[in-house]
Chain A
Amino acid sequence: ETGVTQTPRHLVMGMTNKKSLKCEQHLGHNAMYWYKQSAKKPLELMFVYNFKEQTENNSVPSRFSPECPNSSHLFLHLHTLQPEDSALYLCASSPGGGETQYFGPGTRLLVL
């Protein structure tokens, strides 16, 4: 595997379910990110982790819970989501400085 991988690629869940999204980067980067991409809206930064420490929580509801066990792995735990949370969730990683971010293919999430 190369670059940034995300699993699953597609996820359908009910509002009472609990699920997790996984991201893995094979680039040796020290920072990882979660973004939300909704139709007709700009990419929204959700969380930033730098050397496993969370450095940014962009006012994300608590039903989204990130976890970064090491610099190569990032999880997004989901519980009691709302239909408006349906979107493409993108993971990215970057070397120091954070300008050049490399994205994974995303997880397409549908909340019913």
Chain B
Amino acid sequence: QKEVEQDPGPLSVPEGAIVSLNCTYSNSAFQYFMWYRQYSRKGPELLMYTYSSGNKEDGRFTAQVDKSSKYISLFIRDSQPSDSATYLCAMRPNAGGTSYGKLTFGQGTILTVHP
């Protein structure tokens, strides 16, 4: 079993739709959760960063973490064609020590928002 599972899609939605992207994980030690967006031929770009459980909102983006279910989500409201990209979830245990900088990534979900 992979430590982080993410449906690779592809996911295709019409402009204006609400998009839900998800990851599940098996390591209960994960405490930090991130979402990255990667456009074609570019490096990943950090979108959202949350610590432990709860919700975090930034504009049209909302990140949710449910540690009891080992499940994280990214919601995109009023999706735009410019949101078309690959979305990667990433996570890691507590900061410092031997886990310093060791992010575990999901495979990424390819999203297309069509006009």
Contacts and interface: CB of A to CB of B under 8 A. Distances in A.
A66 to B, nearest CB: 14
B87 to A, nearest CB: 13
B73 interface: no
Interface stretch (B43-51, B52-60, B62-70, B76-84): B43-51
A45 B99 CA distance: 12
Interface of B: 2, 4, 6, 8, 32, 34, 36, 41-46, 49, 88, 90, 92, 95-96, 100-108
Contacts of B88: 42-43
Interface of A: 4, 6, 31, 33, 40-43, 45, 48, 50, 55-56, 90, 92, 94, 97-106, 108
B103 A101 contact: yes
A4 B44 CA distance: 11
A55 B34 contact: no
Given A98-B92, A99-B95, A56 B101 contact: yes
Contact of B108 (A42, A45, A99): A42
